[in-house]
Amino acid sequence: MLRRFGKHVKDALSLAPPVSRNLAMLHRLHPQTMPSATASTAAQRRLFYRHRLPVRIMHWINVITFFLMLMSGLGIFNAHPHLYWGAQSDFGAPLLSIGARPGPDGQPHGVTQIGSHVVNTDGVLGASGGKGAARKIERAFPIWATIPGPQSLATARNWHLFFAWIFVLNGIAYIAYTVLSGHLRRDLVPSRPELRGIGRSLLDHLLFRHPAGAAAKRYNVLQNLTYLVVIFILLPLIVLGGLGMSPRLDTLFGGWVDLLGGRQSARTLHFAAACLLLAFVAVHIFEVIVTGLWNNVRSMITGYYRLPPNKDEETTP
Amino acid sequence: MISMTRRRFLRLAAGSALPGALAGCDRLAGNDAFNSTLRRAQFLSQRAQRLLTGDDALAQEFTEDDIADEFRSNGTTMPDSRLYRQLLGGQFQAWRLQVAGLVGRPAQYSLAELQAMPSRTQITRHDCVEGWSAIGKWTGVPLRHLLARVQPLPMARYVVFHCADPMDGSDVQAPASTYYESIGLAEALHPQTILAYALNDEPLPVENGAPLRLRVERQLGYKQAKYLMRIDLVERLENIRGGNGGYWEDLGYEWYAGI
């Protein structure tokens, strides 16, 4: 199966006869991408088979389960919106605490306390409006951010602990696939020269200069490093933090959770990793939009990505 | 032209899909049948955790230095029950723990009798389902010692704990709403599963479950039933109260609280 996908990539890149067959098949599915009869072969070559089927399937499973996990997780967090460091809760000195104080208008006023700093987060964190509700209610994360909307720790846990299985099994399948298919070595790990170009890549991102032509076939070095951090640091950390909160699993190796700093630290790290993953998703979606929303979304649905035209190529007759 | 309609289509799709998906999630989350389907994942988790840790794995134990200054109390802090007030007034002299159900020798024990039995002291971390943790030192009778005395019958599979605290008002308003919990026999025979009568070397305070509470150290706080009155050995949980094996379980929480 893997071999067949590999061949497919080669076909799509070369100008050998199979190309036309592949493209024709693609165009039947997506008439809007059909180039005119007079289109140059260069234009045809620019359609590039970028994401293989297993990656596409796992990506979309991940999208759905990530949001279900995030929102049900916030629902669980709302049951005790305070974070601590160590094995147990030092109720008098939380690292982070989301709550409400009585406001001048008689309504609860949401505040977030980080260490000793108090930040006004009214309307979103601590106290927020319900659906069509005239009054704000006290709740850490607002109704639109949690599953279920109305506070229910039992339901939030039912969802979180069910979809955790799908999320983790999908993640394990993905890591196995990237290693065994060569996706990791070929596409995700940056080469030495690419690593040296990190400053340049950073500048390109800040100036919204996006790679074109053949350069757009590969992930750029910032993309590589971000994906590697997400896949091999943040995702394992969030899973370990979650498992570290399980009293039964904490019996393993005489309290392995101490390696994370204790159970309350595990909970804090789980939350922090979720925030960082959400930040990654936000930047990811932003980049998807600014580098060509439809082209990117299509490549994650059909696999085909149209390479942005290279300026040199355009000037050549 | 094409890209305009496509863009409009995408915007429309995204604009209607997001609130639609959220509303769909909320509708599903309000559906009891759907939630109870999701809840079945607990048995997969239970099996995986048993496989990974083994039945005998011990919960982490801590040192005297780790003990929390004040052990937080959650749920009932003073049972609103006439019977309980009488027992408390008499310093639990008249209190008896009944052990019945599928046992060869049903029995009842006074607090003094339980205190005279072999005891175990353990400094463990209590993990509330809400998310917080507190470390305390518990002393009590290993449940397996008590079970050996009453001799469970072969068909007994669960140990059910009936408590004194009415959960939906006073015992007058809601006499059948007292707290209850249950654990499997393997969990009941675990060495750290004890019936505790002391917290931090003092008699168990009322807010922590006086005179006797369960400690099941490898599960969450709601399994640690307080104000114990009766222990029943049973074959099935379906016919007891809401049928899910516990007060919170009947309200949608997982019966297996090891996660």
Residue type, position A175, single letter:
I
Domains of chain B plus CATH, in order, are 58-251 (3.90.420.10)
Most confident of A41-45, A113-117, B11-15, B89-93: B89-93
Decide if B231 contacts B156 (C-beta within 8 A): no
Within an 8 Å CB–CB cutoff, is residue A298 touching chain B? no
Per-residue pLDDT of A106-165, as tens digits, reads 899 999 999 989 999 999 999 998 666 678 999 999 999 999 999 999 999 999 999 999
Segment (H or E) for B107: strand B107-109
Least confident of A47-51, A243-247, B76-80: A47-51
- One-character DSSP codes across B44-71: HHHHHHHHHH-TTPPPP---GGGS-SS-
Supply the pLDDT for residue B171.
Answer: 87
Q: Do A294 and B6 lie within an 8 Å CB cutoff? A: yes
Higher model confidence: residue B112 or residue B176?
A: B112
Residues 158-197 of B with CB under 8 A from A: none
Helix (H, G, I), strand (E, B) or coil at B257: coil
- The identity of residue B122, as a single letter, is Q
Choice among A119-133, A218-232, B189-203 with the minimum mean pLDDT: A119-133
Pairs across A and B, CB distance < 8 A: 136
Q: Which domains does chain A have, with CATH numbers?
A: 53-78+151-304 (1.20.950.20), 82-140 (no CATH)
Interface pTM, i.e. ipTM: 0.92
Q: Chain B within 8 Å of A254 (Cβ-Cβ)?
A: yes
Report the pLDDT value the prediction gives residue A37, as an integer from 0 to 100: 42
Write out residues 210-229 of B within 8 Å (CB-CB) of A: 217-220
Read off the pLDDT of each residue in A41-64 and give the average, rounded to a whole number: 85
Question: B131-168 pLDDT, tens per residue?
Answer: 999 999 999 999 999 999 999 999 999 999 999 999 98
pLDDT digits (tens, 9 = 90+) for A24-38: 344 434 434 444 444
What is the arithmetic mean of pLDDT over A159-173? 97
- For A51, counting Cβ atoms within 10 Å of its Cβ (0-12 exposed, 13-18 middle, 19+ buried), the class is buried
User: Tens digit of pLDDT for each residue in B221-233?
Assistant: 999 999 999 999 9
Nearest Cα to Cα of residue B163 among B143, B176, B175, B179: B179
Closest partner residue to B39 among A91, A153, A158, by Cβ?
Answer: A158
Q: Do the chains contact at B29 and A79, CB–CB below 8 Å?
A: no
Residue type, B22: L
Asked if pLDDT for residue A4 goes beyond 60, the answer is no
Mean pLDDT of A187-209: 88
Confidence tier at A311 by pLDDT (50, 70, 90):
low
CA B203 to chain CA centroid, nearest Å:
21
Q: Do B259 and A246 touch (CB under 8 A)?
A: yes
**Rounded average pLDDT over A44-48:** 72
Tell me what the pLDDT averaged over chain A comes to. Answer: 85
Asked if residue B9 has pLDDT above 60, the reply is: yes
Least confident range of A23-32, A83-92, A273-282: A23-32
